[in-house]
Amino acid sequence: MDQVKIGIIGIGNMGSGHCDSIINGKVPELRLTAVADRKETRRDWARKNLPDSVTIFDEGDSLIKSGLCDAVIIATPHYDHPGLVMKTLEHNMHALCEKPAGVYTKQVRLMNEAAERSDRVFAMMFNQRTNHIYRKMYELVHEGTLGSIKRVNWIITDWYRSQAYYDSGEWRGTWAGEGGGVLLNQCPHNLDLLQWICGMPSKVSSVCHNGKWHNIEVEDDVTAYLEFPNGATGVFITTTADAPGTNRFEITLEKGKLVCEDGKLTLFKLNVSEREFCFSTREGFKKPAGQFAELETDGENPQHVGVLNAFAGKILHGTPLIAEGVEGINGLTLSNAIHLSGWLNKPIDLPFDEDLFLEELNKRCAASVYKKNVQEMTFNTDGSYGA
């Protein structure tokens, strides 16, 4: 096999973009054979824009059962991700899941268990891991030459969205439709990168403001305080209401400080570890000396196409993925913990009570204005929903 026959479930913004990349030859080892979408408008788009050889379905289940595909990309609303991944794997096909892995970790854990039982390739669309700056940060932190992390700060407030954005779909900005706001819709990549580069925190305290700046049910302004197992601390701040907004990611380590901002990565490298300097210097006000430098990277940033090519490569040649599918639960764990801390107004230790999170989520879904096309706004502890 020199090409993987690929199907895409959900051909909205992301799914249609993947269609374009594949049919325009940007992923030569993938061949688009089928798409599925419940919306007639999207199926009309497919008829007009995709080759006649691509079969169009109105349900993801039908695509999965069709036998037309070796692998499936899931690009549907968040709640459906785990179920469709599990069905894909059960039908002996490879799966690539758009972010986030799901809405609640209880369901995603079941998905991961299904993946562990399968011999099929399972990947996550964490395309920001292909960014040369984040890859360089990962390399510098994990090689250990800068010592242990002491502090992490990420101000990511350039996710501006107007009220018109939320009004563009009745499911947007609702607990029942999306399962969350800025944390679950805009920030899965940031939360994944934070845990990928810095590791998982052990405790989270947060304030989540629901509908502070927009007419929505879910959070649009969040401040989270993170505590890590080694004693390091961090702050994660995000909103969809700041203009112009900021995207500044700082990591302070024992031997230096990394700053990612405005498409640049800088390092102030200390001549000696701050911990050593602190207890050896005899001068009370002197700071440890060092050198400032803007770091060079390889400049490569293939984004979604890079993830798609790696997915095909793993299936055909056994080469590495950008992100294993089972890693999707990590950023979602952080997101769920931030939500739960805000809901309960108290610090949350990781791992947290997944049943308690689901109970609190269901309270919000039951009161949600969006209930259309949903069997019943109660999600079960086994990951299913409805009666």
Confidence of residue 1 (pLDDT cuts 50, 70, 90): confident
Q: Average the pLDDT over 183-209 and give the result.
A: 98
Tokens of 223: 């401040």
Rounded percentage of the chain residues whose pLDDT exceeds 90: 95
How would DSSP label each residue in 127-145? Answer: GGGG-HHHHHHHHHHHH-T
Confidence of residue 384 (pLDDT cuts 50, 70, 90): low
How would DSSP label each residue in 370-386? Answer: --TT-S-S-B-TTS-B-
pLDDT tens string 334-364:
999 999 999 999 999 999 999 999 999 999 9
Q: Which domains does the chain have, with CATH numbers?
A: 4-128+303-324 (3.40.50.720), 131-294 (3.30.360.10)
pLDDT tens string 275-331:
999 999 999 999 999 999 999 999 999 999 999 999 999 999 999 999 999 999 999
Confidence of residue 373 (pLDDT cuts 50, 70, 90): very low
pTM for the whole structure = 0.95
Residue the block writes with tokens 């824009």: 49
Confidence of residue 177 (pLDDT cuts 50, 70, 90): very high
Distance CA 203, CA 223 (A): 14
Q: Do residues 217 and 211 lie in contact, with contact meaning Cβ atoms separated by under 8 Å?
A: yes
Backbone torsions φ then ψ of 252, nearest 5 degrees: -100, 125
pLDDT tens string 76-91:
999 999 999 999 999 9
User: In this predicted structure, what is the pLDDT of residue 371?
Assistant: 74
Question: By CB neighbour count within 10 A (0-12 exposed, 13-18 middle, 19+ buried), where does 295 fall?
Answer: middle
Confidence of residue 377 (pLDDT cuts 50, 70, 90): very low
* pLDDT at residue 228 is higher than 70: yes
The HSE-up count of residue 324 (CA atoms within 13 Å, CB side) is 13
pLDDT tens string 86-117:
999 999 999 999 999 999 999 999 999 999 99
Nearest residue to 30 via CA among 297, 218, 304, 273: 304
The strand pair at 122-124 and 219-227 is best described as unpaired
Q: Do residues 44 and 36 lie in contact, with contact meaning Cβ atoms separated by under 8 Å?
A: no
